[in-house]
Structures are given as C-alpha cells and as structure tokens.
Amino acid sequence: MPGRNFLFVPGPTNVPDRIQRSMMVPMEDHRSPRFPQLTQPLFPALKRVFGCREGEVFIFPSSGTGAWEASLANTLSRGDRVLAPRFGQFSHLWIDMMQRLGLRVDVLETEWGLGAQEDRIADALRRDTEHAIKAVMVVHNETATGVTSDIGAVRRVMDDLGHPALLFVDAVSSLGSIDFRFTDWGVDLAITGSQKGLMLPAGLGIVCVSPRAREAEKTADLARAFFSFADMRKSNADGYFPYTPALPLLYGLRESLAMLEEEGLPQVYARHARLAAGVREAVCAWGLATCSRATRWHSNTVTAVAVPATVDATRIIDIAYRRYDLSLGAGLSKLSGRVFRIGHLGDLNEVMLLGALGGVEMAMADAGVDFAAGSGVAAAQRFWRGAHRPALVVPETLAA
Ligand code: PLP
C-alpha cells in the first residue's frame, strides 16, 4: 500500500527519522575503551526523565516485562506480601508475575476504567498493623483502559499512615510522555520500556531504583541472575555491561534523550496533554464514551474508546488496518470487542492525529457505527486551533 502505515497503537510508537538514523551503526566492541563515552551519559539523562535526584538507573536488554521481573527479583523475598490494585490487563499481568515468582499479593479488585483508589489502599494499609505488606504496586498509566493514577496521592496516604512499604510503579506507557516525579513522589522503584514515550523500538527494559529499594536488595532472596542489579551496578560503574548490550538501541536512546531534552520535558508533557484533550473532544463529538470513567483518570497517552453494544470493536480495528492502513490498539482481555484504543504518545503532532481520527471515522462508518462523519475531526481541530501551541522555530539559515 502506498504511503505510510499510520501507527496509532499505544506502543510501539513511531520512531523519529533522527533516531532511526542514529541506530544505523556498525557493531563495535562493547568492551573497548571508547564504549563508556556512549553509555555513561545515558544514566544521568535517564534519571532526569524519571525525575530522580537520588537513586540509580539500570538498562536491561529486555522489554518492559523484563523490567517488571528485575524490579521484583532484586528487592523481595519468597512469601512476601505486597498490595496491588488490579484495574486493567497490565496491572493484571504484573500481579500474575508477582504470584508466579512466589509473592503473596493482596489484590484490590477495581473496576476497569478507574485507577488506583488511594482510600482503598489506605484502608488496606491501615489494617496491616504488623507492617507485613512490603510493597505497594501501581501501574501509573494502565494502557489497556487509558487510565492514569495519581502516584503522589498514593505516596501521601502511605506516609500519612507511617506505613514503611516500598512504592513500585509501572511507568511503561507514561515515562517521557506524562509528568513523572520519582523523587518528589517518593517512588522506590519505577520501570519502563523503550518502545513508548522514549520513541525507540522495543528492547530496553529500564528500572529506576531508590536508595530504600537498594537497601531492600540486601535481604531480598528471590532468585536473580540475568536481571541482577548487583551485576549491572558493578559493570555500569565503568560504563560497561555484564553481558552484550543491545548496541544500536543504546545509540537510539542517546538520541531519544537528546530530543526530549531539546523539546524540554514540561513541553513534552504539555504536548501530550493537548493532543489527548483533542482526541477526547473527538470521542465526545462522536457520541461515544471513553473507557476511563472520570476526568481525573483520563490518560494523556492512550484513549480507549467504548463502542455501542451493537458493534464489535474488533471489526473497526480490522477495517482500519485492511482498508486504510491505520493500526489501532485492540481491546485487551475482557475489553476485547468492546473498545478500540488510540495511542497518542511519542513523536506526534496534531496533523498526524487528525489523519488517525479521520481514519477512525472512515472505519467506524464502514462498520456501521451511528455517528456524524467528520464531527470528531472537526471537534479536535476546533480544540487544537484554540489551544496554545508553541510556534515552530525556523532555523535562522532557512529563515534568512
Ligand atoms: N506495562 C504497561 C503499562 C504496558 O503498557 C506494557 C506493554 O504495553 C507492559 C507493561 C509490558 O511491556 P512489554 O510489552 O514491553 O514487555
């Protein structure tokens, strides 16, 4: 099919040409004296993206799932109790992994469409007078439902109760797109993958670790080998890795971090907020609802759109792909057929999103959804034209 495939799944996201080019490198010796020049600046730059002032970052050659495993295996022991709200497929999968690794998970079953409810976390911690719960695990942005939780608020209830549990956060579909403040929010362990806000292919699992989590490592007895923080720490100190790193991805990561710094993290977050708000205007104009149930939960990186009961969302996704070369996210697990998801994160602007919204409208019309064709695109345009957008900076050599 001519033209580009429109990739609007919530990860992997579009890889900017500049990052693609940066990864076109010959293979090299990852034990050479020159190699640390590439790797050493990556760690402080990643810490800045996490908002981490005190702590350390590890980069594993894995996907986000590997980073989940690394976070658990290095800091917890078999039989440890942890508390985790389940409100979507990714919180579910993380809980499943915790259970498979031998942790005892107090699951807070939560309606899909809501986020982590601080009052319920507080109740559970209040009942834990013995402080048996070792960690609270929250998915910051539940990619399955398009819901963002308030991590700072979760930390506040933990502090108010004086509960010593560690706070683990999955920031896979938020980091580099939605404001994240590791140190200010008192996060002890945050994880992400490379294929979302960092605009890279999948292949890097990144973990940010607080000094308290590092302390927990000393007594944690879960088995770890490939994902050992200690092995990483030892090699990383000199800019090396304990095994062969994913070399082109590290070059890509350097470029990605440079791009985020050039745009400025506050601007990156504002752009994602603006784009997401325009998408929600479109959904509203179509007469449809988001899976996210309230303004406080709306995600700035992904919108799950609920379709009328008479329509199968899978058909909309299939038509979008086959007829219009537009990739949309599917409804996962119990949301299958009930929602389609529009990913709006990474290297993206308004005009690209208008193309996607137009494609969604064509696919919905073909699938028999009853809505006013053009209404969503018009609503998003109205919103974005009114919203403040920083002007494009034209390089002086071109402007002259
Ligand atoms: N956590 C969240 C919130 C995700 O969205 C994903 C993937 O989409 C994962 C974890 C798993 O990451 P990966 O697919 O990179 O293993």
Instruction: Compute, in angstroms, the gap from residue 143 CA to the centroid of ligand 1.
Output: 8
Burial of 4 (0-12, 13-18, 19+ CB in 10 A): exposed
Instruction: Compute, in angstroms, the gap from residue 64 CA to the centroid of ligand 1.
Output: 5
Instruction: Compute, in angstroms, the gap from residue 69 CA to the centroid of ligand 1.
Output: 12
Each residue's pLDDT tens digit, 65-88: 999 999 999 999 999 999 999 999
Assess whether the C-beta atom of 143 lies below 6 angstroms from ligand 1.
Answer: yes
Looking at residue 384, what is its pLDDT?
A: 96
Looking at residue 387, what is its pLDDT?
A: 78
pLDDT band at 389 (very low <50, low <70, confident <90, very high): low
Nearest to 360 by CA among 321, 333, 334: 321
Assess whether the C-beta atom of 65 lies below 6 angstroms from ligand 1.
Answer: yes
Q: Specify the DSSP class assigned to residue 112.
A: B
d(CA 158, CA 86): 18
Count the helices and strands in the chain (H runs, E runs).
15, 14
Q: What are phi and psi of 183, to 5 degrees?
A: -75, -45
Looking at residue 1, what is its pLDDT?
A: 80
Looking at residue 390, what is its pLDDT?
A: 67
pLDDT band at 348 (very low <50, low <70, confident <90, very high): very high
Percentage, residues of the chain above pLDDT 90: 96
Ligand 1 pocket test, pick from 9, 94, 143 with the greatest ligand atom count within 8 Å of Cβ, gives 143
Q: Half-sphere exposure of residue 368, counting CA atoms within 13 Å on the CB side?
A: 8
> Cα separations (Å) of 206 from 126, 209, 264, 265?
32, 10, 21, 18
Each residue's pLDDT tens digit, 4-14: 999 999 999 99
Looking at residue 239, what is its pLDDT?
A: 98
In the predicted structure, residue 399 carries a pLDDT above the cut 60: no
Instruction: Compute, in angstroms, the gap from residue 368 CA to the centroid of ligand 1.
Output: 32
Q: Which two tokens stand for residue 394?
A: 């034209």
Looking at residue 393, what is its pLDDT?
A: 64
Higher pLDDT, 390 or 240: 240
In the predicted structure, residue 386 carries a pLDDT above the cut 70: yes
The whole-model pTM stands at: 0.96
Higher pLDDT, 1 or 101: 101
Report the chain's mean pLDDT, rounded to a whole number: 96
67 Cα nearest atom in ligand 1: 16
Each residue's pLDDT tens digit, 289-298: 999 999 999 9
> Within 10 Å of residue 65's Cβ, how many Cβ atoms?
16
d(CA 192, CA 202): 11
